[in-house]
A and B are shown apart, each in its own frame.
Chain A
Amino acid sequence: MFILFDSYFWIHESQWGKEGEGGGNTFDVVLCFVGAIGGKAIQQLLVMFPQDSLLIFVASSPSLCSGTRTAELDHRLPKVSASEEMIVCVAVVGHQNNPLYIQSFTEADDALKLHHIVHCSLDVIDERVNNPKKSGPMLNETFLGLLYPTENYKVYGYLTNTKVKFILVTTDLDVRDADVRNQFFRKFHAAYVDAVSNPFHVPGKKITSRTFAERVSNIVKSFGLGSSG
């Protein structure tokens, strides 16, 4: 039998995503497009299919591409260190969808791409807010959860009661929702509240506070450490 993985989402949402269960399946050939599923997912597939089925990884970079599933593969895989799995971008967006604060935390020159992701996620937030699926005790919940997974990123949202949106983009695809909510957004919200309490901050205008920027970068750093450990 033959199975094809062409997106990260597919692995997660399909029944094969549950660890160990895939092991009971006897696929002779597993074909994965690494670019689409993300390098991290390879490890997961190796756990899912521990038997002697042939895993084929297709990737644009030769170092990603390997035809066999041996121990050798493990160290030929891109080493995704803890520092690389991290929050790459955070943003505060006002109630009229005007950006109040946007900060990326990558070395690479991909600010535009991250801004684009944040911008796209605003539509997802609107959609969630206008079609609430949850009710009752969840009514006052400000955490919107995973907005959408992309190839390499996960995007989370948080909506305050004043319709200010916080958006988080992370490359850590194994991050837990509860961690994002309690360890990141709660602290981030507190930092935001203090920043807007500055009498020199004009509501609805960009947040220029250096203290806020510092606090945010500390929250981002400590979150990376907390979730990888």
Chain B
Amino acid sequence: MPAVAPRSGDAIFASAERVNAELFTLTYGAIVRQLITDLEEVDEVNKQLDQMGYNIGVRLIDEFLAKSNVSRCVDFKETAEVIAKVGFKMFLGVTATVTNWDAEGTTCSLVLEDNPLVDFVELPDTCQGLHYCNVLNGVVRGALEMVSMKTEVTWIRDMLRGDDAYELQVKLLKQIPEEYPYKDDE
């Protein structure tokens, strides 16, 4: 079988089926809203969103690999670039920039200038602790876990809390050897 060249995020995004952005935004808003009603505690909501994202991520990674034809990344730096330029573009329609690498090359930040999840959204005073987009954390974490990278993803900046951009810090904890059977030890 001939090798297929990796496709750019733009190309995949252009050919992908799409739904109306407002439908997407309002659906996500409704989910968050419902979680707040059900769970009452914002911390619980954050956890739940993260878990939901994780479940999405572990499924999404296969679609991502199938459609993007990206080859194996040589290091975590490349992984981060692929997530920012291809992954985000493919599923969210925006690209992120990768910055703030630490010396060891295990921690970086994905900065989103634009985020379709938060159109119309304004956090009320009662929900100041809420990470509205926490689902994205989970998606990144879940997806990377499936390709044998254990990561920790946290929000650094959030425009809903008055910052100037969305910054997602991705920290590589360890790379699990591939042949090692995955064990749920957490």
Give residues in A with beta carbon < 8 Å to B: 194-195, 197-200, 208-211
Neighbouring B residues of A198 by C-beta, 8 Å: 29, 120-122
Is A200 within 8 A of B122, CB to CB?
yes
Contact B22 A199 (CB under 8 A): no
Are A194 and B124 in contact (CB-based, < 8 A)?
Answer: no
Contact at A197–B122, with CB atoms within 8 Å?
no
Asked if A199 contacts B26 (CB within 8 A), the reply is yes
A208 close to B124 (CB less than 8 A): yes
Q: Which residues of A contact B28 (CB under 8 A)?
A: 199
20 A-B pairs whose Cβ atoms sit less than 8 Å apart in the complex: A194-B120, A195-B120, A197-B22, A197-B26, A197-B29, A197-B119, A197-B120, A198-B122, A199-B28, A199-B30, A199-B33, A199-B120, A199-B121, A200-B29, A200-B33, A200-B121, A200-B124, A200-B127, A208-B124, A209-B122
Once bound together, how far apart are the Cα atoms of A24 and B180, in whole Å? 102
Contacts of B33 in A (CB 8 A): 199-200
Q: A199-B30, A199-B32, A200-B127 are in contact. Are A210 and B120 (CB under 8 A)?
A: no
- For B65, list chain A residues within 8 Å (CB): none
Chain B contact residues: over half helix, strand or loop, or mixed?
helix
Q: Does B123 contact A (CB under 8 A)?
A: yes
Residues of B within 8 A of A199 (CB): 26, 28-30, 32-33, 120-121
CA distance A200 to B124 in the complex (A): 7
A6 to B32 CA separation, bound complex (whole angstroms):
59
- Cα of A181 to Cα of B92 in the assembled complex, Å: 37
Q: Determine the chain B residues whose CB is within 8 A of the CB of A211 once the complex forms.
A: 122
Contacts of A195 in B (CB 8 A): 120
A-chain residues with CB within 8 Å of residue B120 when the two chains form the complex: 194-195, 197-199
Task: Give CA–CA (A51, B26) in the complex, Å.
Answer: 65
Contacts of A194 in B (CB 8 A): 120
Residues of A within 8 A of B121 (CB): 198-200
Complex CA distance for A10 and B116, rounded to whole angstroms: 54
B1-30 interface (Cβ within 8 A of A): 22, 25-26, 28-30
Residues of B within 8 A of A208 (CB): 124
Q: How far is the CB of A198 from chain B (nearest CB, A)?
A: 5
Q: How far is the CA of A197 from the CA of B26 in the complex (A)?
A: 7
Given contacts A199-B32, A199-B33, A200-B127, contact A210 B122 (CB under 8 A): yes
Give Cα A203 to B167, complex, Å.
32
Closest B residue to A196 by beta carbon equals B120
Nearest-neighbour CB distance to chain A for B89, whole angstroms, equals: 25
Q: A194-B120, A199-B29, A200-B124 are in contact. List 16 more A-B contacts (CB 8 A).
A: A195-B120, A197-B26, A197-B29, A197-B119, A198-B121, A198-B122, A199-B26, A199-B30, A199-B33, A199-B120, A200-B33, A200-B121, A200-B123, A200-B127, A209-B122, A210-B122
